[in-house]
Amino acid sequence: MFSPCERILSAGFVVGMLVASGSLLADEKKEVALKVGDAGPAFRLTDDTGKTWNSADHYGKKLVVVYFYPGDFTPGCTAQANAFRDAMNTLTDKGVEVVGISGDTVATHEQFKTVQKLNFALLADPEGIAAKKFGVPFGKGAKVKGKDTGGKPLEIERPGTAARWTFIVGKDGKIAYINTKVIPAQDAKNVLEFAGKAEAK
């Protein structure tokens, strides 16, 4: 079954989607591979600027939010990204860094970040390398045709699709938080609440 991110259309945003045949998330029944207290998986991916984002350069310094989402330029995922964008000043004050990961390409991430004026890194995981390390279900991609909010035509091919799961890696480098039932617009709020409790300890 497709997530609301894949199927809901919002005002001012038109998107037509041809989804590859087969199960979207073939491993959706797989149990979570990580538990709170486990070491945060090490990974390297390319960010929206074409540079390498290495987890080793970020773990242990801040609370690192690693959120996986199905795809750029879809309503639910846009709402989720914008909520993090709008909360970024408060998150930064609480020592939180945010990275979003999907199966989209670097070029698509660059477009999405520009259109939505996002203020955090988007990482390209077209083969699901990081998703698999975190135990996140990862399935077939999709072809998306539509228009961005500025009316510019978009033709996007997403190589793969991740489930919407959010993790927080604590300052000790261990998994501190796992949410496998993320509500897009509430994700940033939940992360803020967790960061506030962590800050108070």
Tokens of 148: 């961005």
- Annotation says 5 is catalytic: no
Rg (CA), the chain: 16
Active-site option among 77, 122, 142, 195: 77
Q: How far apart are the C-alpha atoms of 2 and 171, rounded to whole Å?
A: 34
Q: How far apart are the C-alpha atoms of 192 and 92, rounded to whole Å?
A: 10
Question: Where do the H-state alpha helices sit in the chain?
Answer: 4-7, 75-93, 106-116, 129-134, 187-200
Q: Three-state secondary structure along 9-42? A: CCCCCEEEEEECCCCCCCCCCCCCCCCCCCECCC
Q: Is the Cβ–Cβ distance between 133 and 40 less than 8 Å?
A: no
Task: Please count the other Cβ atoms lying within 10 Å of the Cβ belonging to residue 70.
Answer: 27
- The set of catalytic residues is 77
